[in-house]
Structure 1
Amino acid sequence: MRVHHRKVKAFFSQTLGTLTDLHKLTDKIKSNIYNTVGELEVTAYNTSEPVPFEQRTSGDRLSLKPGQQWGQLFDCAWFNFKGKIPAEAAGKNVVLLIDLSGEALLVDEQGNPAGILTTGSSIFETSLGDPGKTVVPITPTGQEGAPIDIWADAGNNDLLGAFQNNGTLQFANIATKNEEVEQLYYDYVVLLDLLDQLDERSVRYQKILYALHKTMIELVDFSDERVSKARAHLAPELDRKNGDYGMQVTAIGHSHIDLAWLWPIRETIRKGARTFSHVLRMMERYPDYKFGATQPQLYQWMKMHYPELYGKIKEKVAAGRWELLGGMWIEPDSNAVGGESFIRQFLYGKKFFKEEFGKNINNLIMPDTFGYSAQIPQIMKGCGVEYFVTTKISWDLYNKFPHDTFLWKALDGSEVLAHMPPEGTYNSSAAPRAIKKAEQLYEDKATTEHLLLMYGIGDGGGGPSVDHHEFLKREKNLAGIAPVTQRTVKEFLDDLNKNRHLYESWVGELYLGFHQGTYTSQAKNKWYNRKMEINLRHAEFLSSLDRVIGGTNYPKAQLDELWQETLLYQFHDILPGSSIQRVHKESLERYESMSHEVHTLQTATLERLSGHITTDDIQKPVIAWNTLPWERDTWIQVKDHWQKVHVPSMGYKVVDTAVNETVEQPFTPSSSVLENDMLKIKFDNNGLIISIYDKASDRQLMPDQQANNELAVYADEGDAWDFTPDYKMQKIGSFEMESCETLVDGPLTAVIQKRLFGDSTITQRIQLTQGSKRIDFITFVDWQEREKMLRSSFTFNIRAAESVSEIQFGHVKRKTHTNTSWEDAQYEISAHKWIDISQPDYGIALLNDSKYGHDAAENLLDINLLRSPKWPDPETDKGHHYFTYALFPHQGNHLEGSVIQEAYALNMPLIMAESSARQGKLPSTQSFVAIDVENVILETIKISEDGNSIVLRFYEAYGMSSKATIKTAFAAKNIVETNMLEEKIADLEATDNGITLSFSPFQVKTICMALS
């Protein structure tokens, strides 16, 4: 038959309906890949929690047909699929087609991982790829009557934790697979997707259009002859190559696995096994496939729970097919994690990869974290990591980040090479549309020829599927898109680094204008994280003293376990509060248990240390321990006795509790006035602060007619991640005062206000201490609200263009006005222990013991206390909370006013230890480390990883160059400066005056001193 090509082409080019038909043809081709020839017999053994292979028949037995339910959300079951290969399938490629509305791990006869099943009805975004993995290969040449007997360990949840299809079995069939039709499908889909990216006036567009049209006409049926001819029509266009394109795409298989999110941690362990077993199976089929995965915690779980699978992973790593990525123990939050925690993320993460695989990882992959601290580059460099990769900044709702490849500089000037895959996702489909999008959006394509494409199904695991691999097989050098090479991230980054001198720089934090609600959501998790970081710091310091003074074994294994679990709960969907209720409930239970364990460890250590301290001249001794690197004069109360004590830096003082120091308290509080020798506070009739008067400065701190510390409630119908930037316009009320009591106790004077709102109660003790300007708001909340947010704010007679917020190992300045869209986007900012606004002569800091979300606008400081969005945890923050925030007025700016020291003191009060009268080898007071400048802070003391040295980690806190002399009570010998991983940099010499270190602004330094 003669075809009038010109007429067909002209008609086709102008007919939208025919283009639609081309797209519809994809479904038709796909439906002819598999031919169902029989049904499987399905038996499931249901349990509420996972059981091992050996106990697979211990659950409730169910015989299932398609459409029947097998469990509720997060139920587990061992499925057994049985059948026989029918005559119709003899000699053909036999597969199973199974969809059980959830996920499952296929296992072999010994129960070892052998594959994956994932429901095709997952809520995963299908534009990024088909999440369904429903095909189980059986044999390429089926024998009639051959038995089929497959076991699978299933979870009744889809990739993203959803309960699909009411938890029913969708289908379980025996089928044959036509490989030629499958290859036709991918030939066709790749060219059709490429067509959608091209200019319809281009030669390439018209030629592909013509080939696709001929294919559509050819496929009146799917006989072998027709399929072969259809592929022949497409082959010339698939074979067309690029010239010198000027851009090279590196594609790496990836599966970002959230360690918890819309599913519990126990399911993540199983997700890891499913994903990794599928990766291994795909590697057998696709020789070019290279895969990379982060998070040593995942690998450790595989080692513990799936040792046979772990062994195969190690083989692929050794063969160069599987790349270890990301250096850190997990992919943590960045806004609420402490500086030392970041270092431990690298310490444990890099150590695991080195010991288990012999690999030294020099990249940090954090694709999904909600903004990035300004000090990450310094910590990276200090841990031997040179490259940073993320995609999340592209999610900013308000501003487009100006670079995809750039040099990222920390506060101290440390610099790393950063790349953000320009497609803006770590779940790329790897289709032509993905490559074209990345190429078009790449901000820095003028200065480099390299970009990264991270492809695969992620968040809930799964990894690259057949679709991804078949696309890539056809895209190596396909005319119309940049050529694609499958290779490692290391190879890509090393090539990217060759043009380092051409890239622009970005200094400071990578603020994400999105997900600012995570600074506050799930307040108890954040409270526990802060306490665990502090208590582990104390435990290491005291245990190090115990090792040096008493020769006691350092409890390294126990501390390592506590640290690693603390690091786990810093994952970017646990600590930020963006997981389901079960995740937070289980983590809180573990936090409580860990807190008890570290407290028990600390108590036992203090008891041993007390045995070395001379107390025989003290009538009723207790020992006050100061874990901060400066002397402290502070009030203590022991057994109803008040004393003001002087405790040396990083040391202790024996206190006689028989002494009851007389405290003259000339100020009597009332519901309207609270006063000490430094400040006078006035309240209105509702207990709100209307005046703070600094006596020494003769300064009124607050404007007239302005009520402060209103515990205001706002509508919050967002989710755990976000709340609307115009929330201030949605105020729905505030806690009203029900009663007010007063308190005078030694140096303390306070008012205690009980407030009510809805079904919630707040009891707040507003407290002053003699000799101090700090105003403490000690707060107990019974929070029963839904879709509401609780905040407190203060307005001052201060004019400051910038606020200053503490971050890891330093602080950052942010504008208090909204001149630009970048400033306007920062309607919520993160701060650790303090945030401050100051003018040159005076300022005020807002301190806290567990909060992170703040607003600083002109002369206002605001703190976000609680949120209760309904999703993904409908009872977010419901229950009892205890926290403290404080105002701290001061002379000069935040540095001159000692804000940093006061915030540390709020978070780390003296530790009191019981003692008895004894003669010891240590005096009644002792400083173990003293620093001669106030701007250098000793953050950590621990025993080194090899057990041979004591490690001291310092940082410069003021942002200025400095020399510091450190005196220690330890025998200072064989002193070396190391990086943050305790690897030697240089030898140091001690003098009679101590060890002198030079610091640049905000620099972190680590030294090790050999133990005798």
Structure 2
Amino acid sequence: MHDDRVHVERRIRRILNERLRPAVHGERAPLDLEFWPAPGEPVTLEEALAATYVKAAPGQEWGPPWGTTWFHLTGTVPSAWSGREVEAVVDLGFSITGPGFSAEGLVLRPDGTAVKALNPESIWVPITKSSTGNGDVDLYVEAASNPDIMREGFGTPHGVGTPLGDIETAGRAPGYRVRRVELAVFEREIWELVMDVEVLDQLMHELSTDDPRRWKILRALETAVDAIDLRDVTGTTAAARKALEPALAAPAVASAHRVSAVGHAHIDTAWLWPLRETVRKVARTAANVTQLMDDHPDLVFAMSSAQQWAWMKEHHPAIWERMKEKVATGQFVPVGGMWVESDTNLPGSEALARQFVHGKRFFLEELGIETQEVWLPDSFGYTAALPQLVKLSGSQWFLTQKMSWNQVNKFPHHTFWWEGLDGTRVLTHLPPVDTYNSVLSGRELAHTVRNYTEKGVANRSLVPFGYGDGGGGPTREMIGRAARLADLEGSARVGVESPQDFFVKALEDHPAPEVWAGEMYLEIHRGTYTTHHATKAGNRRSEHLLREAELWSATATVRTGAEYPSERLDAIWKQVLTHQFHDILPGSSIAWVHRLAKTTYAEIAAELEQIVADAQRALAGDENASGVVTFNAAPHARDGVVAGGAGIPSEPSQPAVLEHTEAGTVLDNGLIRVVIDERGLLTSVVDAATGREAVAEGRVANLLQLHQDLPYEWDAWDVDRSYTHTVTDITGVDSLRSRVLEDASVQVEVVRTFGASRVTQLLTLAPGSRRLDVETEVDWQECEKFLKAAFPLDLRADVSSAEIQFGYVQRATTSNTTWEREQFEIPAHRYLHVGEPDYGVAVVNDSTYGHDVSRTVRADGGTTTTVRLSLLRAPRFPDPQTDLGIQRLRYALVPGADLLDATREGHWINLPARSVPGDHPVAPLVEIDHPGVVLSALKLADDGSGDLVVRVHEALGARRRTALRVDAEYSSWTVTDLLERPLDDPGPALEQAEESGVFTVSLRPFQILTLRLRRS
């Protein structure tokens, strides 16, 4: 038999696939089918019930892209099936890509209750466990004809992309054809045999041919299939199962790896579908899961993203009630503690904090549950700010698996302490199964055991199982596998349980994990720092306007008693947080998503500007006041509503001058002297205070460079190192004009064309400013190109310092190791700083995140450190029109800058100057003496109490002790967590001085502190 092993194995699989699986649904009877194509956007069940249906049958074409078709299924269970289990089998013509990527359906009863969903891996619908004969069937299916963009997009030649990513370009031709709609007897015993054979067959193939266990399984499987009469599968199933009993009863060894299997369905809040379709995906998945829980009381399912739960409460109240029913039994488990599974590199400080605030609060208020785990399996890298935010939100565990996608360096841990920017540590787990869409296959579990890095010191890992990305969740087949793998020789031991159970057991199993300090940089998807600039600009603007709106509104309430717009701010925050999902903000969603995001951001900006204006009018004492003049509310302003630091150092305010010399056009304001040559390029930027030249010898700065950009995969996501192989310097100039502005600033306008694109840059030097602003407008019409702006600097910098949330992270500029080499594209927020011990330069921006930093040694022995901003990309999948059209962005060069200068200028370039109208200054509510301590938020408490909430953080990486002055009446104060609840152990960070309203703040590097003041 050994020599014939391969043939025996093939015979087993053939019988499994060709005879056993088809026999699971035995006797069949027809169902009558009608359909109604709903016009436009999805409609309610009530509208569908009132519609006029047309008779249909298998073969019926249906479903234009992004359309909704309602099917009506009616029939009668044959009387001959009395006492038998009956299901409907409905195949609407699903594509082969898998659940969540093509057509899907939600099965409903006429009373509106959901039965379950339909997708390529789950085409059955329960009718009755035990038929009484002649039962009527009356079901509706809300079918979504979502196009298979994954298959279409990756197969598109010539970089054209697919038009299916937007309802406006997708066309109206039907995309699907009904295959099968009928009743069938569900042969449960045959289904159980399928599970027996499948699990043993998969396990066998993962065992070595030298392992006796493999041969015992093969012999048992061969005996089992020999017992099957191919003409009477039903009648011989029991004998086949009996033959497999010894193989299935053999227990796992005592040292077998233990797997905590958690039901899961990673549902992207938007990706290859719009937000409105995600609402329906969540409904379909939740309906599937709750139906399975009725049949399988041991199933535990974890669902993240409070936004998705909130959608169910708003749009699908019946499903919401079912979810709450299963939450009460401990089966349906909220996880994540965040509003959505957001990107973590791109959201700003307060925005990332509010992800936890809004997510945790929803689960507390709606379900009475304090989530403990932060669940981010699929975000594109993990900021070093996260551990502190996790802890301050009241959570204690973190989970991701995305680090397994690293292209070069294997992440060294699976269960470990993750140490953040400030020293906070959080227990973190990366499932060694290397997927968040496990089906609990033998191959996946064997990979888990082989891959697990903590062998010998620990023995437990988590496996999220269920179809995801587009939803679907666990299937009864996965649950069947888990049951057989609970204690099976040759396999890891699988137990279905909650994430909380896993983390508690994991720490007991491994009480002294290793430590990973700093960010978890993902060695893939680096293009997401740049793709879809307009979405990133909308997010950045929204974040800063929200900060301003809270600050001005809180000041107006405290000073004048004006109503605080809490509900409006809450709704706007949730919109912004939703759009920070890890495919929207990174730019990797379809065109429809980004088209709607642009409209949403414009509406958000208009409403927040109105909120700010309302607060200013209240502070001016004139509800009808208009013509608000400018005033800066940046964190470092002392003369306005808030001061977050020692203020802006006094600078000479002499007018800037404009000269034309042989070297080029000179801009000089007494602080910096800039020379721009005839090509509009910077040849010299001299810091007057030190006389240092910032631009490297023989080089030019603000040099636009264009690269070919076609990664080997994942167009919108990835920038491969190979893009550096080709570069075109854009030096041609169409026009060059200089002017003196009314505010005594001097400016040079440079217009260039390249390819099919046109760029206009305004280089401006203002009086009293130590930065050169570059305002850029690009009519971007390129395909698969990458636009950079280069600043070669006369510096030898060993590291770059990039702003992240609540601080900065330093990365090597060298390529000594593969870890350093792979960070060839890095994210930064408002500034990136490089320097020598006594001199530095910063590049600040208003909407750019991607950067690269490189070094070279010149012939003269000096070192050039080149900082480049990544401005625009032009990938074609999933959005073939990515970034095409007018794009506006702003950045600036700050010579002679230290980290405080970089922090200050990064704030200023993002915040407009504002003030209240009239001649009466408004005293700031909060002042902070030390410039290294920054005000992150000033607002009223979320609970409507009227309490004042002040959040500050140390921004420069040093210990700080400073005074914080609050100019508002209050009766008591407390240090709180992010949810504005008193901390159990606030530590020595804050104490009240003898003077009323003055606090002494002592902060460790990068520490966040939230103060709540109860107003009298």
The two structures have a TM-score, normalised by structure 2, of 0.91
Q: For residues 947-962 of structure 1, what are the structure 2 equivalents within 5 Å?
A: 947-962=945-960
Alignment CA distance shift 1:190-1:697 (3 Å): same
Match of 2:994 in 1: 991
Indicate conservation of the 8 Å contact 1:33/1:179, yes or no: yes
1:208 aligns with 2:217: yes
Alpha-carbon distance in structure 2 between the residues aligned to 1:241 and 1:170? 43
Matching residue's letter, 2:31: L
Q: For residues 681-700 of structure 1, what are the structure 2 equivalents within 5 Å?
A: 681-700=674-693
Matching residue's letter, 1:82: T
Alpha-carbon distance in structure 2 between the residues aligned to 1:326 and 1:924? 44
Alpha-carbon distance in structure 2 between the residues aligned to 1:311 and 1:577? 34
Cα deviations by residue, 1:819-838 (Å, 9 ceiling, x for unpaired): 11101111100000000110
Match of 2:869 in 1: 863
Cα deviations by residue, 1:505-535 (Å, 9 ceiling, x for unpaired): 0111000000000001111111011111111
Alignment CA distance shift 1:748-1:250 (3 Å): same
1:447 aligns with 2:473: no
TM-aligned CA deviation for residue 621 of structure 1: 9.8
Determine which of 199, 203, 213 is the counterpart of 1:194.
Answer: 203
1:41 aligns with 2:32: yes
Match of 1:738 in 2: 734
Match of 1:914 in 2: 917
Matching residue's letter, 2:878: P
Alignment CA distance shift 1:360-1:143 (3 Å): closer
- Give SS of 1:805's match: strand
1:83 aligns with 2:86: no
Matching residue's letter, 2:114: P
Match of 1:874 in 2: 880
TM-aligned CA deviation for residue 455 of structure 1: 0.4
Determine which of 710, 722, 725 is the counterpart of 1:729.
Answer: 725
Gaps of 5+ in 1: 1-8, 121-131, 633-645, 653-660, 918-922
Aligned residues: 955
1:170 aligns with 2:179: yes
- Give SS of 2:284's match: helix
Q: For residues 269-280 of structure 1, what are the structure 2 equivalents within 5 Å?
A: 269-280=279-290
Alignment CA distance shift 1:72-1:162 (3 Å): farther
Alpha-carbon distance in structure 1 between the residues aligned to 2:942 and 2:135? 57
TM-aligned CA deviation for residue 109 of structure 1: 2.2
Indicate conservation of the 8 Å contact 2:419/2:516, yes or no: yes
TM-aligned CA deviation for residue 350 of structure 1: 1.0
Match of 2:1007 in 1: 1003
Match of 1:656 in 2: none
TM-aligned CA deviation for residue 287 of structure 1: 2.2
TM-aligned CA deviation for residue 429 of structure 1: 1.0
Alignment CA distance shift 1:23-1:63 (3 Å): same
- Give SS of 1:79's match: strand
Q: For residues 874-953 of structure 1, what are the structure 2 equivalents within 5 Å?
A: 874-890=880-896, 893-895=898-900, 898-915=901-918, 924=921, 926-946=923-943, 947-953=945-951
Q: For residues 129-168 of structure 1, what are the structure 2 equivalents within 5 Å?
A: 132-142=121-131, 145-157=134-146, 166-168=175-177
Alpha-carbon distance in structure 2 between the residues aligned to 1:406 and 1:664? 57
> Which contiguous aligned blocks of 4+ residues in structure 1 show a shift greater than 6 angstroms?
158-165
Matching residue's letter, 1:715: Q
Q: For residues 639-658 of structure 1, what are the structure 2 equivalents within 5 Å?
A: 649-650=642-643
1:703 aligns with 2:676: no
Alignment CA distance shift 1:622-1:592 (3 Å): closer
Alignment CA distance shift 1:210-1:169 (3 Å): same
Alignment CA distance shift 1:595-1:23 (3 Å): same
1:95 aligns with 2:87: yes
CA RMSD of aligned residues (A): 2.4
Q: For residues 635-674 of structure 1, what are the structure 2 equivalents within 5 Å?
A: 649-650=642-643, 664-668=655-659, 672-674=664-666
Higher mean C-alpha deviation, range 185-194 or range 737-746: 737-746
TM-aligned CA deviation for residue 94 of structure 1: 2.5
Alpha-carbon distance in structure 2 between the residues aligned to 1:58 and 1:758? 56
Indicate conservation of the 8 Å contact 2:751/2:760, yes or no: yes
Indicate conservation of the 8 Å contact 1:674/1:750, yes or no: no
Alpha-carbon distance in structure 1 between the residues aligned to 2:875 and 2:228? 53
Match of 1:968 in 2: 966
TM-aligned CA deviation for residue 143 of structure 1: 5.8
TM-aligned CA deviation for residue 246 of structure 1: 4.8
Alignment CA distance shift 1:189-1:735 (3 Å): farther
1:598 aligns with 2:590: no
Alpha-carbon distance in structure 1 between the residues aligned to 2:22 and 2:268? 33
Alignment CA distance shift 1:647-1:279 (3 Å): closer
Higher mean C-alpha deviation, range 206-215 or range 440-449: 440-449
Alpha-carbon distance in structure 1 between the residues aligned to 2:947 and 2:149? 46
TM-aligned CA deviation for residue 612 of structure 1: 8.1
Match of 2:8 in 1: 18
Indicate conservation of the 8 Å contact 2:675/2:685, yes or no: yes
Higher mean C-alpha deviation, range 439-448 or range 575-584: 439-448
Alignment CA distance shift 1:206-1:925 (3 Å): closer
Alpha-carbon distance in structure 1 between the residues aligned to 2:17 and 2:653? 87
- Give SS of 1:668's match: strand
Alignment CA distance shift 1:731-1:421 (3 Å): same
Cα deviations by residue, 1:303-330 (Å, 9 ceiling, x for unpaired): 1111111111111111111111111111
Matching residue's letter, 1:940: A
Cα deviations by residue, 1:344-389 (Å, 9 ceiling, x for unpaired): 1111111111111111111100000000000100111111111000
TM-aligned CA deviation for residue 664 of structure 1: 4.5
Alpha-carbon distance in structure 1 between the residues aligned to 2:211 and 2:379? 41
Match of 2:248 in 1: 238
- Give SS of 2:278's match: helix
Match of 2:522 in 1: 512
Cα deviations by residue, 1:634-684 (Å, 9 ceiling, x for unpaired): xxxxxxxxxxxx6685399xxxxxxxx997454336893131123333334
Alpha-carbon distance in structure 2 between the residues aligned to 1:111 and 1:1006? 46
Alignment CA distance shift 1:938-1:46 (3 Å): same
Indicate conservation of the 8 Å contact 2:653/2:767, yes or no: no
Matching residue's letter, 2:673: K
TM-aligned CA deviation for residue 89 of structure 1: 4.7
TM-aligned CA deviation for residue 999 of structure 1: 0.4
Higher mean C-alpha deviation, range 204-213 or range 708-717: 708-717
Alpha-carbon distance in structure 2 between the residues aligned to 1:439 and 1:749? 65
Alpha-carbon distance in structure 2 between the residues aligned to 1:211 and 1:349? 51
TM-aligned CA deviation for residue 87 of structure 1: 6.2
Determine which of 367, 388, 407 is the counterpart of 2:417.
Answer: 407
TM-aligned CA deviation for residue 148 of structure 1: 2.4
Match of 1:761 in 2: 758
Gaps of 5+ in 2: 95-102, 153-163, 165-173, 646-651, 856-864
TM-aligned CA deviation for residue 972 of structure 1: 4.8
Q: For residues 365-376 of structure 1, what are the structure 2 equivalents within 5 Å?
A: 365-376=375-386
Alpha-carbon distance in structure 2 between the residues aligned to 1:948 and 1:704? 58
TM-aligned CA deviation for residue 220 of structure 1: 4.1
Cα deviations by residue, 1:210-240 (Å, 9 ceiling, x for unpaired): 0111123223413444222111111110111
Matching residue's letter, 1:739: S
Match of 1:126 in 2: none
Higher mean C-alpha deviation, range 489-498 or range 830-839: 489-498
Indicate conservation of the 8 Å contact 1:116/1:275, yes or no: yes
Indicate conservation of the 8 Å contact 2:803/2:828, yes or no: yes
Indicate conservation of the 8 Å contact 2:658/2:665, yes or no: no
Determine which of 307, 319, 343 is the counterpart of 1:297.
Answer: 307
Match of 2:272 in 1: 262
Alpha-carbon distance in structure 1 between the residues aligned to 2:737 and 2:803? 34
Alpha-carbon distance in structure 2 between the residues aligned to 1:406 and 1:361? 20
TM-aligned CA deviation for residue 975 of structure 1: 2.0
Indicate conservation of the 8 Å contact 1:669/1:750, yes or no: no
Indicate conservation of the 8 Å contact 1:975/1:1008, yes or no: yes
